[in-house]
Amino acid sequence: MAARRSDRFLATLKNCARVTFVTHVHPDPDSLASMMGLAYLIEEKLGLPTRLTRDGPISRAENRAMVELLDIELEPIEDVVWAEDEAVVMVDSQPNTGRHNLAGAPPISAVIDHHDTPGDLAGIGFIDVRETLGATCSVVVTYLREQGLIPSSRLATGLMYGIETELCGYPREAGPADEAALIHIYPLADRDLLARIRNARLPQSYFGGLLQALQNAFIYDRLIISWVDHLPQPEMAAEVVDNLIRFEEVDWALCAGVHGGSLILSLRAAVENAQAGELLHKVVGRLGRAGGHDRRAGGTIPLPSEASSAIENMQAELRRRLLKALHIDECRGQRLVKKREILENLHT
Ligand SMILES: [Mn+2]
Nearest of 93, 134, 135, 133 to residue 112 by alpha carbon: 93
pLDDT in tens, 75-99: 999 999 999 999 999 999 999 887 7
Residue 347 domain flag: no
Residue type, 149: L
Q: Is the pLDDT of residue 273 over 80?
A: yes
Phi, psi values for residue 234, rounded to 5°:
-60, -35
The half-sphere exposure of 251 on its side-chain side, counting CA atoms within 13 A, is 12
Show the domain range for 233.
206-335
Residue 340 domain flag: no
Residue 305 domain flag: yes
| Residue 312 and residue 217 share a domain | yes
| Residue 148 and residue 38 share a domain | yes
Measured in Å, residue 32 CA sits from the centre of ligand 1 at 9
| Residue 136 and residue 13 share a domain | yes
- The Cα 290–Cα 327 span in angstroms is 20
| Residue 257 and residue 129 share a domain | no
pLDDT in tens, 65-79: 999 999 999 999 999
Tell me whether the omega of the peptide bond preceding residue 171 falls within 30 degrees of 0, making it cis: yes
Q: Is the pLDDT of residue 169 over 70?
A: no
| Residue 284 and residue 194 share a domain | no
Measured in Å, residue 140 CA sits from the centre of ligand 1 at 12
Measured in Å, residue 321 CA sits from the centre of ligand 1 at 27
Q: At 137, is the secondary structure helix, strand, or coil?
A: helix
Residues with CB under 5 A from ligand 1 (ion): 30, 92, 136
Residue 15 sits in a domain whose CATH number is: 3.90.1640.10
Residue 346 domain flag: no
Measured in Å, residue 305 CA sits from the centre of ligand 1 at 31
Residue 254 domain flag: yes
**Among candidate residues 181, 198, 215, the one where a domain is terminated:** 198
Pick the range with the lowest mean pLDDT from 30-39, 93-102, 146-155: 93-102
| Long-range contacts, 317-325 (Cβ 8 Å, 24+) | 317/287, 318/256, 318/263, 318/265, 318/283, 318/284, 318/287, 319/220, 319/225, 321/283, 321/285, 322/223, 322/225, 322/254, 322/283, 323/220, 323/223, 325/279, 325/282, 325/283
| Residue 166 and residue 233 share a domain | no
Measured in Å, residue 173 CA sits from the centre of ligand 1 at 11
| Residue 147 and residue 263 share a domain | no
| Residue 219 and residue 94 share a domain | no
Residue 243 sits in a domain whose CATH number is: 3.10.310.40
Residue 233 domain flag: yes
Measured in Å, residue 114 CA sits from the centre of ligand 1 at 6
**Among candidate residues 198, 222, 248, the one where a domain is terminated:** 198
Q: Say what the pLDDT of residue 240 is.
A: 95
Residue 348 domain flag: no
**Among candidate residues 167, 198, 229, the one where a domain is terminated:** 198
| Residue 230 and residue 299 share a domain | yes
| Residue 291 and residue 155 share a domain | no
| Mean residue pLDDT across the chain | 93
Residue 341 domain flag: no
pLDDT in tens, 178-230: 999 999 999 999 999 999 999 999 999 999 999 999 999 999 999 999 999 99
Q: What is the mean pLDDT of residues 303-309?
A: 92
Measured in Å, residue 292 CA sits from the centre of ligand 1 at 9
| Residue 150 and residue 11 share a domain | yes
- The Cα 193–Cα 144 span in angstroms is 22
Measured in Å, residue 337 CA sits from the centre of ligand 1 at 32
- Total domains in the chain come to 2
| Residue 183 and residue 257 share a domain | no
